[in-house]
Structure 1
């Protein structure tokens, strides 16, 4: 059981929580302009100062002037916007996309936001200053032309940090709880006092330390503003109960986060200020609370033992934090919104697991975190649990009870894989044992790591398309010339061509990520964030400049199952059994297996032919294009083409697929995954760290699949690509254990930036204690075979289909999307359809 005792007695939900949730979701989220206006004002006043000082002064100016509010019934306060679930904008990273979408952001299919005409006006005025000054502008200038070409042709997308802040970090919450920002400020003061003006790094380090002190002061000032507001509201409040609550809030905000927390309530308030303010400083998402049950536990235990707090009130405070985590929001461009649909900020909070000494430290708060997700029943936090052979069985059963509700939480992580995988990347054993999860599925050591997780999305299907086109896309040579696919005599020759296309594209992805990395270091260093990560104060550098102990870049690949099934089908049907000629396969792919092409496909083919004619010196006018169009359409709709497509689809369908516990196929999939994970390991980033692969797509497998043609696994053009390391939807037909056995045969250790394995169960599969025991047994079996992560949807296909038809009846239906959960009705239809298509399992 470990160091601590725990009480698994369920705690009833307070009446406050449903009202807080109702108020939170009463209106559409709204874009506000205050932060953009304030940061622009500050930058105009600090033109000739060092960038790190400008950033700190801008943070200070924002926190001293941004409007604040205390929402009805709140016990934990601090809101980035006046509107519930509203969002600020961050023009220093990018702004053009938002201005271009001012008139459509409210009506778009994924994550719409209301924006007033006054806000549009204020943002346009503020944004004008940032032309040519954004991190996005600088990153573009650092990229090679061929890199920009690959991005344009959707081979990969680094859009996450290209247009936004980096985020994806867990800070030293425990240190803030212990010594407050006055204590952190003192550390910076002492470090500055130890320096000499003649030191070689004095100019940069001294300014950095000054920026840390300014940022700490700003956070303290911000909390005091809330203390003052709470007192003012208490004076006017006629309700004696609420008046007392406001007075306590005022006292809390006067004490923390300036000083160390003296009890659990103060610890909750201090935690929240850190969580909120990190996201005011930068637009980076996935600011993850990490091992919340560990750093909060001493304050809870002390108050509980002294009689200062009851479990019921402590649970209510936790529930209030869970609601607040859903108040934070972010507006993305329309394309990114499709890939991150559900208004998610990926705030991953993990419970359970072992400590630095290898002892299980599951405690009472670990259970209460699960209870909070049951009570609040919202997507945030993205709750996770750590699993190993020392995990209390009843903790896993209680986690399974939450899974059974259908919320898609928690996700399950395997200590026995993640700890050694982090050690292999240079972490000490003690640090690896203390890992938490960032964002979707990415492991790191809190307070010491700048992991640059989610650095890019790499579509493993697109390089295979380039094999068939000899590196040409839309008439443009964007990949290496690997030869005419019809001349490839052996499968090894074909596979080598795929690897060559992969290697070339991966190198360009690295170029893109490193360009963006440099841009953030130069134009958007974050001193407030740096104050809470080792060893920034000692090194005198922000995270962006290499101040963290551990530095990585983690771009993720997806489409493993598609490429495994596709390449295996080519090997079997073309080369081993000679059932298909490469000519016929190429024709089937180019005509979408005879299913007919979209207008975009036809336009692309016409463009390619017209480009070829022009290169050959043949005139290409309107008549010539019309003739080409007529020829292309006729060719792709002929009966012969349809028959060829149907024949090849039937043959492909009969080939064994990944996800069915077939060792030969699974070994092949493992090797295919290596075509992405191994090449990345040789690259370095500007912060002195290495690249490490992840195998997960967030939900980008849907929109990026929409940009991908037909593939030799039988997937039709523009359909979603397989998510994470999961088998392709509907292809895992031998049950959940068989699918888990297959996925476990991938090398999860090398994908140290995280792997994602989705499964969907019919609710009946988890009914009763027996269902829960079987479910936990499945997880433990998969983890025993060295799988890294599992997450689940427990919802029937019928329920999801009905929710599509009658969304008003399913406002509170939460589902697991990818590495996060979201309200089903907030997702785009294409993403809803992808979840519906997933194989529905049962025991």
Structure 2
């Protein structure tokens, strides 16, 4: 197998919306305007036209055929394949007029890779053809057209690269119609499907449980461990070139509840470490039976500073899915998309989410704090306001769905690759998927709200140390002229993240309330709106629009990050940190994000690895939901901010994803730097 090369320029970004694929789709769409045929056929034929006419070039083929060079705008394509008489702007606009947005189920998804690997693309084509013969609906025809277009594209690529790469050509020819039989063939099929779904408006699509569905090929392939490692590295380099978030799940349980870890789980850890790209967003599923070798492999990769694997608790995620009506065997097969979002791979509508600013609603109550005679009365009104806000959120989401009906904005290729769209003859967004859509409501500012409520409960209502009027006036002035009061708020009420039962109980109450208020929320098409303690990096922008809060946070300062303690407020060490973040019951929350920073010294030697393994086991036993780690010291981050040209390859965990530190906005860089650094002598 040819050697793979390390990822290149970290500042490079792939623009899917301006790809050669999109341009060619648009050309065909302009030739066949809306209304000329059922929209699903129009979309399917435009994508088939693009795949049949994509200009091919040797640069598309390394050891494998794949990566953004196969579908994206490149200098050779512009120069060598001019499109006379075509208006690029009009073609791009026509393409985008057929796409959905993330909010309404465009991407953040996983096709049915397991069945693709087990049975092959040809089986999907046969099933789609049989279904169309039984019931020749336009939707079934569109899926059949899409699948055949992929097969034809693979054969065309095989013919093109056969003179200079016969091994790759043989793989492409094989998987065009047959099931893969070698590990390299399986990797090629995964790479191709990921390429094509990514090219067609697909952001943050995931590879799913790579160690599970490729494992039979790994065991059966006589090529050995070294060849498999190289193949994985080639795959991850291709993933890197998109500069996207591509989640990969490893570990976890089998459908019958046994430990699913295997030799390929460990090999993926090694390959991700070797490629060292922030795009391979690795997620490790943990449970009570997780093996020491797997945990140690996770810790050693985390110690490199890459920011993953993030760790997820099966004892929380599986019950959460079962609670939504998903059978336990399917729930145990969950994977992650995007940053941390939990879905059933190959069987569900694409994920979507939005943001909900809890502290902002609380601030509107603080203006009339004097009207409440008890903490309980304040809590009751906060609950009512949050419920009111969530109902408005639901109405806004339903309006967005109504503006993009599946009949007018179909996704025939993805539909063909998701169970049970072929059998039902329906689009993935129109009732074809086996399980309904999940939409996450990112409930921002958990610790900001918990710490603020602790101040009000303890210092205003219980101890009466702070008069309500004084606190209200101080908040309105952003504490100007009353720094003494701000210091009382900061230092004389407990803060989440320090294993203090007083404030930890309030945080647990907030999570419980969010779960309760979202439990009955449904989208107009029967999907679930699920509470999530997650914010991505929007805690920074949301904070900029939020007044000062009773925890001592200044107006416009970032909110606390997702489900993490407020930056710099967790001061009692890593054990206290974990003891706090496992107290809320997340069994009805789809996802959470807990960021934790360690000094590199924390991981040194066997003792350091053992210490972190013990911390992960405490997280699992305590039924925490998710954790992720940064391993960088403050000095490195500060120097990177001052001299970014010297730190182009510095990777950090941001919030649910990793990225090159120098590519982050300065306010996000500062937010990471503000997080408490554990393990410092």
Q: Whole-Å Cα distance in 1 between the matches of residues 500 and 132 of structure 2?
A: 61
Measured after TM superposition, the shift of residue 84 of structure 1 is 8.3
Provide the aligned length of Structure 1 versus Structure 2: 666
1:298 lines up with 2:219 in the alignment = no
1:116-143 Cα shifts (integer Å, max 9, x gaps)? xx9xx95533356589x5778xxxxxxx
Q: Whole-Å Cα distance in 2 between the matches of residues 717 and 123 of structure 1?
A: 45
Q: Structure 2 vs 1, CA of residues 249 and 558 (structure 1 numbering), >3 Å: closer, same or farther? A: same
1:761 lines up with 2:598 in the alignment = yes
Contact 2:303 2:631 in 1 (8 A): yes
Contact 2:52 2:149 in 1 (8 A): yes
SS in 2 for 1:16: coil
Contact 2:21 2:72 in 1 (8 A): no
Partner of 2:174: 255
Q: Whole-Å Cα distance in 2 between the matches of residues 529 and 82 of structure 1?
A: 19
What are the equivalent positions in structure 2 for 1:97-136 lying under 5 Å apart? Answer: 123-126=88-91
**Which one of the candidate residues 55, 59, 76 is aligned to 2:47?**
59
Partner of 1:463: 361
Partner of 1:79: 67
Measured after TM superposition, the shift of residue 389 of structure 1 is 2.2
Q: Whole-Å Cα distance in 1 between the matches of residues 98 and 132 of structure 2?
A: 30
Partner of 2:575: 737
Q: Whole-Å Cα distance in 2 between the matches of residues 130 and 222 of structure 1?
A: 20
Q: Whole-Å Cα distance in 1 between the matches of residues 429 and 549 of structure 2?
A: 39
Measured after TM superposition, the shift of residue 704 of structure 1 is 2.2
Give the unaligned 5+ runs of structure 2.
Answer: 76-82
Contact 1:291 1:436 in 2 (8 A): yes
Contact 1:135 1:516 in 2 (8 A): no
What are the equivalent positions in structure 2 for 1:336-375 lying under 5 Å apart? Answer: 345-375=244-274
Give the unaligned 5+ runs of structure 1.
Answer: 1-13, 88-117, 137-158, 196-201, 235-245, 330-344, 470-483, 595-641
Contact 1:178 1:260 in 2 (8 A): yes
Partner of 1:680: 518
Measured after TM superposition, the shift of residue 46 of structure 1 is 4.5
TM-score for both structures, normalised by structure 2: 0.92
Partner of 1:155: none
Contact 1:70 1:79 in 2 (8 A): no
Measured after TM superposition, the shift of residue 579 of structure 1 is 2.4
Q: Whole-Å Cα distance in 1 between the matches of residues 394 and 12 of structure 2?
A: 41
Between 514-523 and 406-415, the greater mean CA deviation after superposition: 514-523
SS in 1 for 2:479: coil
SS in 2 for 1:457: strand
Partner of 1:572: 458
Contact 2:347 2:418 in 1 (8 A): yes
Q: Whole-Å Cα distance in 2 between the matches of residues 505 and 650 of structure 1?
A: 31
Q: Structure 2 vs 1, CA of residues 42 and 15 (structure 1 numbering), >3 Å: closer, same or farther? A: closer
SS in 1 for 2:265: helix
Q: Structure 2 vs 1, CA of residues 320 and 129 (structure 1 numbering), >3 Å: closer, same or farther? A: closer
1:811 lines up with 2:648 in the alignment = yes
Q: Whole-Å Cα distance in 1 between the matches of residues 71 and 324 of structure 2?
A: 43
Measured after TM superposition, the shift of residue 423 of structure 1 is 1.4
Contact 1:170 1:289 in 2 (8 A): yes
Partner of 1:182: 122
Q: Whole-Å Cα distance in 2 between the matches of residues 25 and 762 of structure 1?
A: 24
Q: Structure 2 vs 1, CA of residues 694 and 359 (structure 1 numbering), >3 Å: closer, same or farther? A: same
Q: Whole-Å Cα distance in 2 between the matches of residues 569 and 57 of structure 1?
A: 61
Contact 2:106 2:350 in 1 (8 A): no
**Which one of the candidate residues 558, 573, 593 is aligned to 1:720?**
558
Partner of 2:478: 592
1:50-90 Cα shifts (integer Å, max 9, x gaps)? 12112211221222223444438721222344798989xxx
What are the equivalent positions in structure 2 for 1:475-514 lying under 5 Å apart? Answer: 484-514=368-398
Measured after TM superposition, the shift of residue 468 of structure 1 is 3.8
SS in 1 for 2:336: strand
Partner of 2:143: 212
Partner of 1:525: 410
1:154-213 Cα shifts (integer Å, max 9, x gaps)? xxxxx8426xx6212222112222333221111112223334xxxxxx7xxx11110110
**Which one of the candidate residues 565, 581, 585 is aligned to 2:467?**
581
Q: Whole-Å Cα distance in 1 between the matches of residues 98 and 460 of structure 2?
A: 50
Q: Whole-Å Cα distance in 2 between the matches of residues 348 and 225 of structure 1?
A: 29
Partner of 1:43: 29
RMSD of the TM alignment (CA)?
A: 2.5
Partner of 1:239: none
SS in 2 for 1:271: helix
What are the equivalent positions in structure 2 for 1:545-694 lying under 5 Å apart? Answer: 545-551=430-436, 552-594=438-480, 642=481, 644-694=482-532
Q: Whole-Å Cα distance in 2 between the matches of residues 168 and 27 of structure 1?
A: 22
Partner of 1:167: 107
Q: Whole-Å Cα distance in 1 between the matches of residues 407 and 56 of structure 2?
A: 31
1:672-701 Cα shifts (integer Å, max 9, x gaps)? 223322211111123323222111112221
Q: Whole-Å Cα distance in 2 between the matches of residues 35 and 646 of structure 1?
A: 61
- Which protein is bigger by CA-based radius of gyration? 1
1:438 lines up with 2:425 in the alignment = no
Measured after TM superposition, the shift of residue 652 of structure 1 is 3.9
Between 290-299 and 223-232, the greater mean CA deviation after superposition: 223-232
SS in 1 for 2:597: strand
Measured after TM superposition, the shift of residue 486 of structure 1 is 3.1
SS in 2 for 1:770: helix
Q: Whole-Å Cα distance in 1 between the matches of residues 57 and 156 of structure 2?
A: 10
Q: Whole-Å Cα distance in 1 between the matches of residues 604 and 198 of structure 2?
A: 40
